[in-house]
Amino acid sequence: MPRTLPVLHYGPVPVFRPDTWDLRIFGATESGAERYLSWEEVCALPVSDVVADFHCVTKFTVPGIRWAGVLAVDLMTEFPPAPTATHVMIWADFGYSANVRMTDFAADQTVLATHRDGNQLTPDHGFPLRLVVPHLYAWKSVKWVRAIEYLSIDRRGFWEERGYHNVADPWHEQRYSYQEMDGEGPPL
Where do the domains of the chain lie? 22-179
58, pLDDT greater than 80: no
Task: Please determine, looking at this structure, whether the domain spanning 22-179 carries the CATH number 3.40.50.960.
Answer: no
For the segment 156-175, the average pLDDT, to the nearest whole number, is: 92
60, pLDDT greater than 90: no
Q: What is the mean pLDDT of the chain?
A: 92
Whole-prediction pTM: 0.92
For the segment 142-159, the average pLDDT, to the nearest whole number, is: 97
Q: Which pLDDT band, with edges at 50, 70 and 90, does 59 fall under?
A: confident
pLDDT of residue 3: 54
Q: In what order do the strands lie in the sheet with 22-27?
A: 35-38, 22-27, 145-151, 87-92, 97-101
